[in-house]
Structure 1
Amino acid sequence: MLSDAGLGDQSFSDAGFKGLEEARDELNISFDYREIKDAKTYEKRLEELVNQGNDVVIGLGFSMQEAIETVAKKFPDQTFLLIDSESELPNVHSVTFKEEEGSYLIGVIAGMKTKSHVVGFVGGVDVPLIRKFEKGFTEGVKKVNPKAKVISTFAGSFDDDKKGMQIAKYMIKQKADYIYPAAGFTGVGVLNEAQKSGIYTFGVDSDQFYLAEKAVVTSMLKRVDVAVYNIAKELVKTGKLSEKKTQLGIKEEGIDTAPIRVITLTSAETDKLNEFRRHISEGTIQIQP
């Protein structure tokens, strides 16, 4: 079940749905879904999916947790999967990501390439999950450019591209020349304004280069599609989910970055970026969210 911005956010929700479509096409599974924006109806829609006899009911997004846990208590024999948050209920499995790791690499790029020494971060809703993006980005910037200033603003929404444009305009007036949004469809507004204003920006969750091909340097890839596909693959193979809690980062290939476009890194900058990636994968660099 999809919540918040839902399909068409060109980011998190679309990535998760892509994984379901690939599983349908390649593994011959069938699925149904609900796209809900009113939190008051989450439980009702989840119960509909349970009553259909689905092997697993997936809640895509941290905002689904309360509803999933309420419904999971009513249906203790039903398996649920919560993506982007963790539950302690025995019949709710969880997949989370180390967003701070990929965001750190985005910050390294911004810190190395900024000319104004001012960069921006735009979050959707101010919750611990989005703070992980902010923390990783800020630490990456400061690691390579201690003098840089990081402007951080939360839009309060994941589905307001106009608000994203307004925030980007404000940051650009403050001389930000690289802006990193972690804000769903709100972030698409940031990408559009960055391109319009001639500065640089970054995609999030999926490769968003095609949304602003003159501005998107790279994207922090959160492989929700891979996670969903692998869950479906395990179900087809074994009929159940083996892991109660799964956390995916760079080492586990759940977090990555898209190809660098629009700008060019020097060989020394490329080596430095690859070195940070290796240290994160090996655990010698740890970002505490």
Structure 2
Amino acid sequence: MSVIKIYINRNLNGVPDLRRIISLSFIIAVGLLLSSCQGSENKGNLYKAGMIVEGSIDDNPWNSKGSDGLLAVKKKFKVEIEVIENVKTEEEISKAVSELVNNGVNLIFGHSSTYGESFYELSRNFKDIHFVYFNGNYYNSNLTSMTFNSNAMGFFAGMLASEMSSTNEVGIIAAYQWQPEIEGFYEGVKYQNPNTNVNMEFIYDWNDKEVAINAYQKMKAKGVDVFYPAGDAFNEDIIKQASIDNLYAIGFVTDQFKVEPNTVLTSTVQHVDQLYLLAADMFNKGKLQGQIMSFDFKDDYITLGEYSPNVPKYFQTKLNESIEHYQETGLLPNQY
């Protein structure tokens, strides 16, 4: 008898509070069993993939997409996977990495930009392990940063916000000032309509929904009628509030059209789940290098989501054509 167990996640102390265990038992002839096992083994460099995440994989769309990506790695390469949640401090990161390595993981994903510095230090001690994280500037021979070039994403969101504003007041509520989509949003707004005013608020936290809602209310009082909530933990709350107030919003990270179809004009979608597959495939083939890898509309790792029927067809066409031109030339509309 062979029992296959796929354990998806647990916390740093090993408590199975969110563990999903799927067990499949089967009995077959020895010859067929050996044949099946040989046929299912991964023949490349990837033995086992692991992921650490700051909160829970169910906390927000960004974390959920990371989990989806790791599950896709398991399915494609037929390897075990392991996730450790609620890993935030330097001590917790070190402990989690050591635990994953001891459990046979040789490809570790850190599902946040905050893991960059710790991974840089740890990568020098674990030479046989490859580390991958997202949207950071640290890299090493066995450390890769997979970065979304989100300036263009913000630009096209800005164009749409400016076009759809009746008050000529639009707003972006972002977690941090360094987010590239902020500058892109501003430039896109001004390209579409120089008379539209851009309001900005920064939360200085990815997860503080209360502060984000307060920022929304402040902008609403100034006449903002289109919001771009550039934070995956609080964007849905702002979208729902905008719906109550009969205002517009643009989704972030995932396609959020179905959250409020009459409110969400479109979404700027980052396909981070597909980057998991890309990294695993390159690592499995021995081609994943220590570097900063950048991804954009040109790679189809960023796309726009479904359009609201409230967005005029002519402007949908204009946006789509502008994106196609950017994919072909690398030039945004204000650059030609």
Does the alignment reach a TM-score above 0.5?
yes
Match of 2:113 in 1: 62
What is the SS of the residue equivalent to 1:209? coil
Match of 1:38 in 2: 88
Does the aligned pair in 2 maintain the 1:86–1:95 contact within 8 Å? Answer: no
2:281 to 213, 227, 233: 233
What is the SS of the residue equivalent to 1:7? coil
1:242, distance to aligned residue in structure 2 (A): 4.8
1:219 to 267, 270, 289: 267
1:43, distance to aligned residue in structure 2 (A): 1.9
- Per-residue CA deviation, residues 104-143 of structure 1 (Å, 9 max, x unaligned), is 11111111111110000001133x2x2x011111111110
Match of 2:304 in 1: 257
2:60 to 10, 19, 23: 10
Write the distance in 1 (CA, Å) between the matches of 2:318 and 2:138: 37
| Pair 119,253 (structure 1): closer, same or farther in 2 beyond 3 Å | same
Write the distance in 2 (CA, Å) between the matches of 1:84 and 1:11: 16
TM-score calculated relative to the size of structure 2? 0.78
What is the SS of the residue equivalent to 1:8? coil
Question: Are 2:294 and 1:244 aligned?
Answer: no
Match of 1:89 in 2: 140
TM-score calculated relative to the size of structure 1? 0.90
Question: Are 2:245 and 1:197 aligned?
Answer: yes
Does the aligned pair in 2 maintain the 1:164–1:188 contact within 8 Å? Answer: no
Write the distance in 2 (CA, Å) between the matches of 1:32 and 1:240: 23
Does the aligned pair in 1 maintain the 2:163–2:193 contact within 8 Å? Answer: yes
Write the distance in 2 (CA, Å) between the matches of 1:217 and 1:260: 6
Does the aligned pair in 1 maintain the 2:72–2:277 contact within 8 Å? Answer: yes
Write the distance in 2 (CA, Å) between the matches of 1:71 and 1:93: 13
Q: 2:302 is matched by which residue type in structure 1?
A: I
| Pair 246,13 (structure 1): closer, same or farther in 2 beyond 3 Å | same
Give the structure with the larger helix fraction.
1
Write the distance in 1 (CA, Å) between the matches of 2:55 and 2:163: 33
Q: 1:25 is matched by which residue type in structure 2?
A: K
Task: Name whichever of 48-57 and 135-144 sits farther off.
Answer: 48-57
Write the distance in 2 (CA, Å) between the matches of 1:55 and 1:122: 38
2:228 to 180, 191, 196: 180
Match of 2:181 in 1: 133
Higher relative contact order (CA 8 A, sep 6+): 1
Q: 2:173 is matched by which residue type in structure 1?
A: V
What is the SS of the residue equivalent to 2:81? coil
Does the aligned pair in 2 maintain the 1:124–1:184 contact within 8 Å? Answer: no
| Pair 135,9 (structure 1): closer, same or farther in 2 beyond 3 Å | farther
Q: 1:30 is matched by which residue type in structure 2?
A: E
Question: Are 2:161 and 1:110 aligned?
Answer: yes
Write the distance in 2 (CA, Å) between the matches of 1:272 and 1:11: 28
Does the aligned pair in 2 maintain the 1:99–1:249 contact within 8 Å? Answer: yes
Instruction: Extract unaligned runs of 5+ from structure 1.
Output: none
Match of 2:69 in 1: 19
Match of 2:324 in 1: 278
What is the SS of the residue equivalent to 2:85? coil
Write the distance in 1 (CA, Å) between the matches of 2:171 and 2:104: 46
1:165, distance to aligned residue in structure 2 (A): 1.8
1:37, distance to aligned residue in structure 2 (A): 4.9
Write the distance in 2 (CA, Å) between the matches of 1:44 and 1:76: 17
Write the distance in 1 (CA, Å) between the matches of 2:157 and 2:110: 28
| Pair 179,49 (structure 1): closer, same or farther in 2 beyond 3 Å | same
1:286, distance to aligned residue in structure 2 (A): 8.3
Question: Are 2:208 and 1:160 aligned?
Answer: yes
Write the distance in 2 (CA, Å) between the matches of 1:10 and 1:262: 26
Write the distance in 1 (CA, Å) between the matches of 2:218 and 2:200: 11
Which structure would you say has the larger Rg? 2
Write the distance in 2 (CA, Å) between the matches of 1:190 and 1:142: 23
Match of 1:144 in 2: 192
| Pair 168,272 (structure 1): closer, same or farther in 2 beyond 3 Å | same
Q: Number of matched residues?
A: 283
| Pair 113,185 (structure 1): closer, same or farther in 2 beyond 3 Å | same
Q: 1:264 is matched by which residue type in structure 2?
A: V
Identity of aligned residues (%): 23
- Per-residue CA deviation, residues 200-238 of structure 1 (Å, 9 max, x unaligned), is 1111111122333331111101110111122223344x2
Q: 1:271 is matched by which residue type in structure 2?
A: T
1:161, distance to aligned residue in structure 2 (A): 2.0
